[in-house]
């Protein structure tokens, strides 16, 4: 598989996983009871960006590894996805 294809697939997968991981462990300032002056109540109390990036990367590597295993060793690819849209030929 070409390196650019690997990078593109991993990039899309990483961004998708980021939006899944981002709300995990989220606590708002209103939930903590300490609202910082000049912010809204729903702002995060403690944003742990490093933890989010690390967790996103680890999950993405595991998912990409599964995709690579399925596509390279078992021959499962996009062509194996059933077509649910009727053909009007």
Q: Position of tokens 């998912």?
A: 63
Residue 77 scores a pLDDT above 80: no
Length of the chain in residues, anyone? Answer: 89
pLDDT given for residue 75 in this prediction: 85
How far, in Å, CA of 1 to CA of 70, rounded?
13
Phi-psi domain of 83 (left: phi exceeds 0; alpha: psi -120 through 50; beta: other)? beta
In sequence order, the 6+-apart residues with CB closer than 8 A to the CB of 35 are 29, 41
Residue 18, both tokens:
């980021």
Structure confidence by residue, pLDDT tens digits, 8-50: 999 999 999 999 999 998 888 988 888 889 989 988 888 889 9
């Amino acid at each position: 598989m070409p390196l650019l294809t690997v990078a593109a697939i991993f990039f899309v997968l990483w961004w998708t996983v980021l939006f899944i991981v981002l709300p995990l462990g989220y606590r708002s300032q209103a939930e903590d009871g300490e609202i910082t002056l000049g912010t809204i109540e729903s702002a995060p109390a403690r944003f742990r960006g490093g933890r989010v990036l690390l967790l996103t990367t680890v999950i993405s590597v595991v998912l990409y590894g599964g995709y690579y295993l399925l596509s390279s060793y078992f021959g499962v690819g996009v062509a194996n996805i059933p077509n649910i849209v009727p053909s009007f030929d």
